Amino acid sequence: MIDKQLILCYLTFRRKRRDAPWSVPRCRSWPKCCGCWIVVFVCNIVALVFVPGAVALFQDGGYETISKVIMGALDLPGYEGVGLKSVPLFFVMAVWYVWMDAYTAVLTLFLWACGICTAIILWQGKRVLDTIMKGEPFTLANAVNLRRAAVCCFIISGAALARTVWGIVYYCSIGPVLTYNALFVPVFLLAGLLCMVMSALFRQAAELKADNDLTI
C-alpha cells in the first residue's frame, strides 16, 4: 500500500522549492541519452522495412527463388545470385515471397508486431523521460504513457505465445518451447505488469499533486 502521506510530504517539499533556479533537475548526459534513443528508434523503424527481406534471406531456398525471379525480370541469363544493383529489387520481391509459405508468413507477422510495439514503447519511454527532465514527472500523461507501454508489452507476450503454440502444432514437437519465443512470453508479461504498477503509481501521485496544489 502506497503511503499517501509520504507522497504528499514529498510533493509539498518539491512545491516549496519549485521557484528555485536549481529545483529542476539537470542531467548533463541527457543529450547523449537522447542521441542514443534517436539511434535506437531509427534503427527499429528501419528494421521493420527490412523484415521481409531478412526472413527471405535466411529462409532455405528463399535467396535462390528470388534471385531466379530477378534474373528473369532483368533478362540476365546465367546470372548467379543478386548483385548490388538488384539488392533493392530483392527486398521488394521478398515482400511477395514471405507470404508463399506459412512459416515465413507467421515469422514476418511476429517480427512486425514486435517491431511496431517496440517502437511505441520507446516513444512512450521518451515522453516519460522528457517530463522527468522538466521536473514534472507526476502527471496523468505519464500514467497514460506507461499504460500504453504495458499494452504493447502484453501484445508482444501474446504474439510470442501464439507463435509458440503455432510452432508446436506446425512441427508436432515441443521444440518451439525451447526457443526465444517462449522466453518472450514471461519476460514481456512481467514487463507489462511492471508498467501497469508504475502507471497506477504515477496516476495516484498526480492526483495527490493536484490536491496539494489546491490546498497550498
Domain ranges of the chain: 29-98, 101-216
Average pLDDT of the residues of the chain: 78
* 8 Å CB contact between 105 and 166: no
Query: Largest Cα–Cα distance of the chain, in whole Å?
Result: 82
65 C-beta neighbours (distance < 10 Å), count: 16
Give yes or no for residue 27 having a pLDDT over 70. no
Q: Which of 91, 107, 120, 88 is nearest to 170 (CA)?
A: 107
Q: How confident is the model at residue 21 (pLDDT cuts 50, 70, 90)?
A: very low
Contacts of range 178-187, beta carbons closer than 8 Å, 24 or more positions apart: 181/110, 184/114, 184/156, 184/157, 184/160, 185/157, 185/160, 185/161, 186/157, 187/157
Radius of gyration of the chain (CA): 24
Region 6-24: mean pLDDT is 49
Give yes or no for residue 80 having a pLDDT over 60. no
Amino acid at 177: V
Q: How confident is the model at residue 176 (pLDDT cuts 50, 70, 90)?
A: confident
Percent of the chain beyond pLDDT 70?
69
What is the reported pTM?
A: 0.74
User: How high is the pLDDT of residue 5?
Assistant: 57
Give yes or no for residue 29 having a pLDDT over 70. no
* 8 Å CB contact between 168 and 176: yes
User: How high is the pLDDT of residue 76?
Assistant: 44
Region 197-209: mean pLDDT is 89
Percent of the chain beyond pLDDT 90?
35
Beta strands in 18-162 (DSSP E): none
User: How high is the pLDDT of residue 1?
Assistant: 46
Q: What is the pLDDT of residues 43-69, one digit of tens each?
A: 999 999 889 888 887 776 555 665 555
Region 124-145: mean pLDDT is 87
